[in-house]
Amino acid sequence: MKRNLLLTFGIILMVLILDQTLKIWVKTHMQQGDEFLLFGQSWARIHFIENEGMAFGLNLGGATGKLLLSTFRILAIGFLGYLLAGMIRHGERVGMVISFALILAGAIGNMIDSAFYGIIFSNSSYHGGLAELFPPEGGYAPFLMGRVVDMFYFPMVESTFPTWFPVWGGEEFEFFRHIFNVADSSIFCGIVLFFVFYRGRHPHKVEVDNHGEGSSEATV
């Protein structure tokens, strides 16, 4: 139990430090829309944007949608924390604990942006100056109405659909077009690990009767 507890706190702390350090650096050193290449590769970039909503730049419309999403995040964090505490208490396998710790850490990371960034930062506009941390005039949005900072952009494939392709024929195609952050990556890795370890815990068992179940013998 103690090992899993220390592991959980270690994972959550590590993800939050990486996530928030990078977000604060990007927020205070880049304007929205600014980008630079990673390792000189055009398919790997730091590209600063902010979004109002969900992971990977997905959005819910308007202030009401934003408030609902923030409320949902708080409830989800509480529920994940409750599940994780139960797993630690009952000595769940390390792999499952790690997966839930990663998901919880990512959820907390993005929740910090939504809850506090509007209060502690000035606005980041497109090519309109850098954001200021703890501005004298106050932040750009009230509690729970802040925007999430995203920066990882990996457009590995950029092409155009052939004209004969249904619906999207002739349109530009880009993979991977979503811009994300450390917290999003933590959530994604946690979900993948959960399915890996869950599948290992509940393998499909297929038994084959090699003795011809239901067969009959003819007698003379």
Please identify which residue in the block is written with the tokens 């993005």. 110
Number of CB atoms found within 10 A of residue 206's CB: 5
The full set of domain ranges for the chain reads 2-201
pLDDT tens across the length of the chain (220 residues): 788 899 999 999 999 999 999 999 999 999 999 999 998 888 899 999 998 765 444 555 567 777 888 888 899 999 999 999 999 999 889 999 999 999 999 999 999 999 999 999 999 988 778 999 999 999 999 999 999 999 999 988 877 877 787 777 777 777 777 899 999 999 999 999 999 987 766 555 444 444 455 443 443 3
Nearest to 20 by CA among 183, 190, 147: 183
What residues are labeled active site?
A: 150, 184
Q: What is the pLDDT of residue 207?
A: 43
Give 14: exposed, middle or buried? Use CB within 10 Å, 0-12, 13-18, 19+.
middle
Q: Cα 64 to chain center, whole Å?
A: 22
In our burial notation (b when 16+ CB lie closer than 10 A, e otherwise), range 114-127 reads: bbebbbbbbbbeee
